[in-house]
Structure 1
Amino acid sequence: MSSLFLPPFTQHIENEISRRAGVELSVLRLDIMHPLVNGNKWFKLKYNLLEAKHQNLRTLLTFGGAYSNHIFATASAGNLFGFRTIGVIRGEERLPLNPTLSFAKQQGMQLVYLNRETYRQKHTRELQEDLKQRFGDVFIIPEGGSNLNGVRGCTEIVKDAGTFNTICVACGTGTTLAGIALSLNQGQRVIGFPVLKKGEFLAQDIENLLRNYLGSGLPVPNNSPAPWELVCDYHFGGYAKVNNELLRFAKEFEQEHQITLDYTYTSKMFYAVMDLTQKGMFSKGDRLLLIHTGGLQGNIGMEKRL
């Protein structure tokens, strides 16, 4: 599977804010790995696909919102590796389909809609059994790929953190942060930036993922997770919410560094890092690695909504 993907590379960036603070900034470019299945989404899907194959299941069923990067990536990966895919979408069908769902359908994904109240039960055994009765033998991947297979894949994101002392990543479910924390060396830490309102709840989710993973018998790069923390003040109003300030930042960043940021995740994290650097949160000589988690496809649909 991995032979179809380019290895991510690290790109050093420098601007007036980092120069004044004496802080080194680099970006891990997961966004360049594959034109359709890239970013942290591939890492969260990888071992789920391998397990589905091992179980002889050829249909993947997963969950997501109407603009979900995970739905987009699962549809692409299913088409790429010969799986049938079913996307259970939160809310009612809206026609014409937005670019994300239109693409997923073009990739062969069957779209199924659940009202929001029913969708909130997506983790329950009852709803999952109902879906299996309806669609037959399916391999269920949770929303965002947030399971132990997803964590395992994310332990492979930062294969060589070198002398970076701080890894920064945007958070939706906390799966990526958990995997990274399990892969780091002594003296390194992870800062997660939730992209949704009241993201403090993710701390418990991350603790649960780490505890369950360490007790699962799955490979652990290090015996204990690296220190981690959440900074919850840069959600810009909530998940998939943006304002003109964030859009302006993303456009200026792209012009200066030739790196396109997605509005839902990476632009919020990059904005936060620049703001906190300017405010003196990081010490002179700190070396930060910012994870670009891909998801650029979402910009198209969001720009049409703005």
Structure 2
Amino acid sequence: MFLNISKPVICTPLDTHRAGADEVKLWMARFDLLHPLVSGNKWYKLYYFLKEAATLNATTIVTYGGAYSNHLLATAAACHTLNLKCKGIVRGEAPEILSPTLHICMQKGMELEFVSRESFLTMKYRTGLHADEYHIPEGGYHALGTQGAALMYNAVKHLQPTHIVTAVGTATTFAGIVSVADARVVAVPVLKNMTDIPDRLKQLEVIAKPNDYVIWDEYHFGGYAKTTPALFEFMEQMNAQYQIPLDKVYTAKMMYAVRDRMQQGYFPPGSRVVCLHTGGLHGNLALGQKV
């Protein structure tokens, strides 16, 4: 199948803190390098959906997202490679000029249908086969997406992590990692006032104990896709020091949180911390545009 879930993932070591046996080791798992468009967690979240669609002989994939959705982009690219028709249901009215993300989606053959925000809310979690169309919910938010995201752990478990850190949007990736990891999973929500993560775990059919995870909810920088000069400066520093580009919506906020907590001495001596680069770099095409 196109999405090879056994593909090796580069894990880049970052600075260690403290010395000797007490040091805290830190890695960045470069899931963003798996594919230029089906990058990061999307590679895994789509896996079981597309596998089921093939089993059901679906001829068209339908999915949901906003004008800058990495999920729409990844789905369009995957369907293009698999020679599947695909349709993207886009939240909001059709703009005069398409976002860079939607422009690439159309180049990859995705048909775009714009719907009102009210209608989108009633549609975005549709799943499964309807006639010959197979529906994938927004962001892969479903147990199948969680099962796919859980496979990401196989790429990092050789590092024997004590902590795994991931940015959180729908919480699908977070739920998948929590379901299988022998480590404490750290969630960094990129939305303001995202207080329903425990409920989302239940909806995604993941049973977790309170000690299995922790939520750092103060690094959203004002809300989804909101930024500050300090965040952009941090992104530039990371790229200059490690040649690791971060996206402004997810991974930049996650890594900023990790650096801040490291400086506060959050991680116990001997900790082995793995940060998940979940891709989304095409979102940076909108840096100079309103998101």
TM beyond 0.5: yes
Q: Provide the C-alpha distance between the structure 1 equivalents of 2:160 and 2:55, rounded to a whole number of angstroms.
A: 38
Corresponding residue for residue 28 of structure 1: 29
**1:53: which partner in 2?**
54
- Measure, in 2, the Cα distance between the counterparts of 1:121 and 1:3: 33
| SS of residue in 1 equivalent to 2:13 | strand
The aligned counterpart of 1:177 is 174
Would the aligned equivalents of 2:18 and 2:24 in 1 still touch at CA under 8 Å?
Answer: yes
Report the identity percentage: 38
**Residue 209 of structure 1: which of 170, 190, 204 is its match?**
204
Q: Secondary structure at the match of 2:195?
A: helix
Q: Does structure 1 conserve the Cα–Cα contact (< 8 Å) formed by 2:5 and 2:44? A: no
**RMSD (Å) for aligned C-alpha atoms:** 2.4
* TM-score w.r.t. length of structure 1: 0.87
In structure 1, the residue matched to 2:239 is 254
- Residues paired across the two proteins, number: 286
Supply the AA of the counterpart residue of 2:87: I
Q: Which residue of 1 aligns with 2:84?
A: 83
1:189 aligns with 2:184: yes
Matching residue of 2:265 = 280
Amino acid aligned to 2:23: G
Query: What is the CA-CA distance between 1:149 and the residue it aligns to?
Result: 1.3
**Residues 261 and 124 of structure 1, relative CA distance in 2, 3 Å threshold:** closer
Deviations 1:17-54 (A, max 9, x none): x3489321101110111122110011000110000000
3-state DSSP of counterpart to 1:157:
helix
Is the CA contact (8 Å cut-off) linking 1:5 and 1:33 kept in structure 2?
A: no
Deviates more, 1:243-252 or 1:280-289: 280-289
Deviations 1:205-227 (A, max 9, x none): 1232134xx7xxxxxxxx99980
**Structure 2 length normalisation: TM-score?**
0.91
1:227-259 deviation per Cα after TM superposition (whole angstroms, max 9, x unaligned): 012211111111111111111101111101110
Distance 1:124 1:189, change over 3 A: closer
1:38–1:123 Cα change, 3 Å: closer
Offset, 1:104? 0.2
Q: CA deviation at 1:291?
A: 0.3
Classify the secondary structure of the residue corresponding to 2:113. Answer: strand
- CA 1:73 to 1:266, structure 2 compared with 1: closer, same or farther past 3 Å? same
Q: Separation in 2 of the partners of 1:4 and 1:290?
A: 19
Please, which runs of 5 or more residues in structure 2 have no aligned partner?
none
Q: 146, 154, 167: which is aligned to 2:141?
A: 146
